[in-house]
Amino acid sequence: MTMIEAILLTIITAATPLVIAAMGELVTERAGVLNLGVEGMMIMGAVCAFAGAQLTGLPLVGLVAGIVGGALFSLLFGFLTLTLVTNQVATGLALTLLGLGLSGQLGEAFVGIPGVKLAPIVIPVLSDIPVVGPLLFRQDITFYLSIALVIGVNWFLFRSRTGLKLRAIGDNHGSAHALGISVIRTRYLAVMFGGACAGLAGAQLSLVYTPQWVENMSAGRGWIALALVVFASWRPWRVLAGGYIFGAVGILQLHAQAFGIGVPSQFLSMLPYAVTIVVLIIISHNRRTTLINTPACLGKPFVPDR
Domain boundaries, the chain: 2-293
* pTM over the 0.85 mark: yes
pLDDT at 261: 66
Q: Tell me the torsion sign for CA atoms 177, 297, 222, 249.
A: positive
Q: Tell me the torsion sign for CA atoms 214, 141, 53, 106.
A: positive
What interhelical angle do 59-78 and 38-56 show, nearest 10? 150
pLDDT at 132: 86
Rounded to whole angstroms, how far apart are CA atoms 152 and 296? 23
Could you say which residues of the chain have pLDDT below 50?
A: none
How confident is the model over 28-80, as pLDDT tens digits? 999 999 999 999 999 999 999 999 999 998 999 999 999 999 999 999 999 99
Class of domain 2-293: mainly alpha
By the 8 A CB rule, do 137 and 123 touch?
Answer: yes
DSSP string, 64-120: HHHHHHHHHHHHHHHIIIIIS---HHHHHHHHHHHHHHHHHHHTGGGTTPPP-PPPP
- State the DSSP code for 297: T
pLDDT at 288: 67
| 287: Cβ contacts below 8 Å, ≥ 6 apart | none
pLDDT at 91: 96
Q: CA nearest 300: which of 57, 117, 31? A: 31
